[in-house]
Amino acid sequence: MDFIEQLFGISPDGGDGSLEALWIAAIVFAAVAIVFRRRIIASLSRRVSPR
C-alpha cells in the first residue's frame, strides 16, 4: 500500500497506507455506483415521488 510513496517520493500519510486505502475505497465506490446507477436512480425516485 505504498504506491504514492513509490511513484512520487513523498509520504503524505506518514507511510501508514491510509491515503492509498482511501483512494482504493473511493475508486471501488465510484465503480459500484456506475455499475448500479440505474437501480440507484430508480430507488431514489420511488422514495421522492408521492404515492
Model pLDDT for residues 23-34, shown as the tens digit of each residue? 999 999 999 999
pLDDT for residue 29: 97
Summarize the confidence of residues 32-37 as an average pLDDT: 95
Contact indicator for 31, 38 with CB cutoff of 8 Å: no
| Coil/strand/helix, residue 15 | coil
Prediction pTM value: 0.68
DSSP string, the chain: --HHHHHHS--TTTTSSHHHHHHHHHHHHHHHHHHTHHHHHHHHHHHHS--
Q: How confident is the model at residue 46 (pLDDT cuts 50, 70, 90)?
A: confident
